[in-house]
Amino acid sequence: MSLTVLLPDYPGAADLVSAIEGVRVVTYDPHDQLNMPAEAVDAEVFVPPFLASRELVPLAESLPRLQLVQLLSAGAEAWIGALPERVKLSNCRGAHGGSTAEWVVGALLSIYRDFREFDAAQRAGEWAYHQTDTLQGKRVLVVGAGDLGRQLERRLLPFDTEVTLVGRSAREGVRGEDELPELLGEYDVVVVVVPMTEDTRHLVDAKFLARMADGAIFVNGARGPVVDTDALLAELTSGRLRAALDVTDPEPLPEGHPLWRAPNLLLTPHVAGSVAGQHQRAFRIVARQIAQFAAGKDPENLIRGSY
């Protein structure tokens, strides 16, 4: 008896998943996901395309034999609480943490070493010699102690930084979120890499930001709504804080939005995980999750409750 998996037709994906014993693969065009093949009705596992939105939930609901939605992203906010009770949800934790952590390090180096200013001077033909700051010796508070938080810690430590992880609850090597009010003012950098849930919506509000040290850098590598945009804009405009954002609220950022002109801000368009090899890394994780499910086990990345 085979397990039917409805899979987006990305290069190499079908070969990787179809190699799992007891799995039958049905592919669909990820750029035309509303036009599914007839065999989709047999799907017990549905893998949505990258960055799939809640608009695909009705499609999942229409599959009568569906038992599992396996995501290609770590973020699952569009799907949590939206699926029928019979359908389990698993994410792709472990696939994109490295590239997002790399983005955080790159953003901090760009800010501390004035790379944008030097680039502007080059374009203007100016030899704009000046001393810069350095990432060395900085104290970094990472709010989020999952895969991404650990990946970021591993990449920051070689720069001789001091890294503290904060999780939902305290454990060995991790401080508890109840300690945040006392911790925020002690760090040069505060990075947020938490999942997007109702509990983390506007986690970074005016009070959170006010507790940060003068001149500190705030980095959002999570999701836009984790941050109160108006509160962050107020801090950036005053010049008290600096920030690096790969995600915004709203997103995509509309024309004329104040964030486009905000001072002290490095802004990228949600590209931290959009790197070469992302499909291959994601499908290696996906194949492992599906193999576990085909063997009658819960996938190790199964989302229980709201994370």
1 band by pLDDT with thresholds 50, 70 and 90: low
CATH topology of domain 3-95+276-294: Rossmann fold (3.40.50)
pLDDT of residue 105: 98
Domains 3-95+276-294 and 97-267 share a fold: yes
Does 307 have pLDDT greater than 80? no
Q: What mean pLDDT is predicted for residues 144-153?
A: 94
Catalytic positions: 223, 251, 270
Q: What mean pLDDT is predicted for residues 220-224?
A: 95
* CA pair distance 55, 191, nearest whole angstrom: 30
**Domain ranges (residues) in the chain:** 3-95+276-294, 97-267
Does 306 have pLDDT greater than 60? no
CATH topology of domain 97-267: Rossmann fold (3.40.50)
Does 26 have pLDDT greater than 60? yes
Q: What mean pLDDT is predicted for residues 157-178?
A: 96
Does 304 have pLDDT greater than 80? no
pLDDT of residue 96: 86
Q: Minimal CA–CA distance to 94: which of 223, 281, 302? A: 281
